[in-house]
Amino acid sequence: MTKIFNILTFAVVLAFSVKTFALESSDILQIQILKAYDKNVLVLNRGLEDAIFKKDHIKITSDEGFIARGICIRATMLTSHWKIYRVIRPELVSKDTQYDMYSINQSKLPDDMLKLSSVNLEKYFKNYGDKDVKKQLKSQQKRIAKYDLPTRVSDTDTFKDANKTGFDRFLEKNLNNENLAEDISNTYLDIYASPMTWQTRYDQKETHYGARLYNKGKKYQYEMNAIETQREVLDPVTAKGFKSKSTHYDAHFQINRSSKNWSLISYLSYDREKIGSIYYPHKYTQVGILGLKYHVWEDDPKDNFFEISYIPMFDNLEYSDPQKTDLDISTREGIRHVLRLKLYSQLSTKIHSKTEISYSPYMNLKGFGVDYSDSNTKVQTSLSYNLGTDFYADYLLQYDSDQFRADTYDMRADNTTQTIRLRYEFDL
């Protein structure tokens, strides 16, 4: 009887211990991948003794940043099986690397993962524990013992790697044709239209439509935008009503994570707008060959991150000059130092917010002095709601200030635009 009582007491204590020491959101465990199955199932070297249980929800990171998210589908004393449902940087997944595991049990699972967590998948996987780990280590030691050492130290990979210059390492890490081809092919297209827009500068309604072509590359990322806008406005020169049309194109290119927290960026844009009898701009071209982006924080490179970038832009503006006869075209060339902040947040499974702030003081090429009074400022924030598969409704609020335009045409510098648009995104 005493023996039975002791067994029951131990079971109760164990049950309360499991509950007390379950994986908490503040816990950080160092992990290693022991085995990889098909369909993104990984075996990790943590199990029940580390307070890991079936249905636990985690994210995996390394020194390079966020790697993946997963849900536990099987746990034994020393190991656990995980279904990885969001892999951000698969090139960093390796059996030779140690990672950090964070509990995110407080985060909501996607619907398909929620269903998967209730399915018993144990029969599809063999147990992988201490015996397998020891067997694998013994096999590796045998292979090392039988390995024929090179006759010359200079022929070893270690020697060659140790003697690479910093520039060689940079090129090897950031310029890879295979990665470029793979990343470029991973392309998506957004098509959107705005049924209604309001602006404070013209106090008129307008419509705009456009498209965005971009990729979700791991190393190389690009984005191209094209926007056409039609509106009815008041001509600031003739004071007559008319219809106007503006065009905007831009393109971005990024070599992602050239070092731990830094990326290299390039940017170019083209704008053209006719307002009655004047052009502002007739042609406006900005070209930034090389800039830097610092990744302050990143949980998901698409929806959850904060970054700061700087890039010098060659700034060429052609516009109708009211000081000349018949509004002849004048040209101004200089450099704008563009400082930009981006904060993207996933507020829920269906709602995303995006905020971008840019500040661009002008520098004249003749005197090379920076004119901070001539600084284009833009602030744009948006809320996106997922209406269904790949279909979104967006609300955009944008503020911009152009002091040169205000001085040239004797009009207000700032403008606030509100836009409601419908957007469809699909994989090419």
C-alpha 204/C-alpha 198 separation (Å) is 6
- Tell me which residue of 396, 382, 294, 288 sits closest to 341, measured CA to CA: 294
Chain segment 397-424, per-residue pLDDT in tens: 999 999 999 999 888 899 898 888 899 9
Question: CB under 8 Å to 148, separation ≥6 — which residues?
Answer: none
Cβ–Cβ < 8 Å for 218, 90 = yes
Strands 65-75 and 370-388: unpaired
pLDDT-derived band at 265, boundaries 50, 70, 90: very high
Chain segment 193-216, per-residue pLDDT in tens: 887 666 665 556 677 899 999 988
Q: Is this model's pTM higher than 0.85 or not?
A: no
Beta bridge partners of 211: 191, 226
Average pLDDT, the chain: 80
Please give the average per-residue pLDDT across 239-268, as a whole number: 87
C-alpha 271/C-alpha 282 separation (Å) is 8
Strands 351-364 and 329-346: antiparallel
**287 φ, ψ to 5°?**
-130, 120
Chain segment 45-70, per-residue pLDDT in tens: 888 888 898 889 999 988 878 888 89
pLDDT exceeds cutoff 50 at 238: yes
pLDDT exceeds cutoff 80 at 289: yes
Chain segment 100-127, per-residue pLDDT in tens: 999 888 877 777 777 676 666 665 555 5
pLDDT exceeds cutoff 90 at 85: no
Q: Is 129 helix (H, G, I), strand (E, B) or coil?
A: coil
- Cis amide leading into 281 (omega within 30): yes
Cβ–Cβ < 8 Å for 215, 300 = no
pLDDT at 124: 57
Higher pLDDT, 104 or 7: 104
Measured in whole angstroms, the distance separating CA 140 from the mean position of its chain's CA atoms is 38
Instruction: Report H helices in 175-295.
Output: 177-185
Please give the average per-residue pLDDT across 248-255, as a whole number: 95
pLDDT at 363: 94
Chain segment 344-378, per-residue pLDDT in tens: 998 988 999 999 999 999 998 887 789 998 999 99
C-alpha 222/C-alpha 341 separation (Å) is 18
Identity at 403, one-letter amino acid code: Q
Picking from 99-113, 138-152, 227-241, which range would have the lowest pLDDT averaged per residue?
A: 138-152
C-alpha 31/C-alpha 329 separation (Å) is 64
Measured in whole angstroms, the distance separating CA 237 from the mean position of its chain's CA atoms is 43
pLDDT at 353: 96
Strands 41-44 and 370-388: unpaired
